[in-house]
Amino acid sequence: MGMKAWFVVLAHSAPADVLRRPRIDIAATDALVDDLFGRRRFRRPGDLFTDADPRDGHIAAGVFHDVAIVAYEGFVTEPTKIPPGLIAAARGGTVDQFALHSVSALGIYGHWDGGNLVRAIAGADGEVQEDVGEPLTFERAEHGEDQVDPDFLDLEYIVEEALASRLGFRFEGAVVPNGPEPREIPLRVYR
């Protein structure tokens, strides 16, 4: 079936470092979900591998010191359409948006720093629907050159490399040495 994921990471430090030893703050997680989505009911514990693609109104989230993960189906959108309130919830930190669907070759990556959109790349089936900002280092590495060929963008690859660069793991592809394991990153699932 392939990997499906749609989530954002809000951070004030290096997410990969925090996620190597994730200790979920339940009260902070409940408060973040209530702030972003209104009052929601806790349903069950989960993890970032199993619950990276919640559907049917479910939300999966976890707050780990100064890093937060929020997975929600509404995040399968171009980065420029992400609600400003979500970006503001980072309170001046960074926000990374990741969306993957390997069956449809969907890939979406957005990166904000201090509330400002730095990079947005989104598309499916080889067609780019949004391309804002300068390509990041891992995007140029795909082609082994300093320039990115806009006619040949593997969006799934770009998102997997963004995951490796920012979070220290890939869902599919080569394992990142000493990186966190998504199955060991606890989340709480709400509806």
Angstrom distance (rounded) from CA 189 to CA 9: 16
Q: Beta-carbon neighbour count of residue 146 at 10 Å?
A: 7
pLDDT of residue 120: 97
pLDDT of residue 126: 79
Question: pTM of the entire structure?
Answer: 0.93
Place of tokens 């989505």: 37
In the chain, the number of structural domains is 1
Is the alpha carbon torsion for 94, 154, 75, 81 positive or negative?
positive
Angstrom distance (rounded) from CA 78 to CA 42: 28
**CA 178 distance to own-chain centroid:** 20
3-state secondary structure of 64: strand
Provide the residue range defining the domain that includes 107: 4-190
pLDDT of residue 137: 86
pLDDT-flagged residues of the chain (< 50): 1
Angstrom distance (rounded) from CA 101 to CA 171: 11
DSSP β-ladder status, 94-101 and 127-132: unpaired
89, with CB counted inside 10 A (0-12, 13-18, 19+), is middle
Angstrom distance (rounded) from CA 23 to CA 16: 13
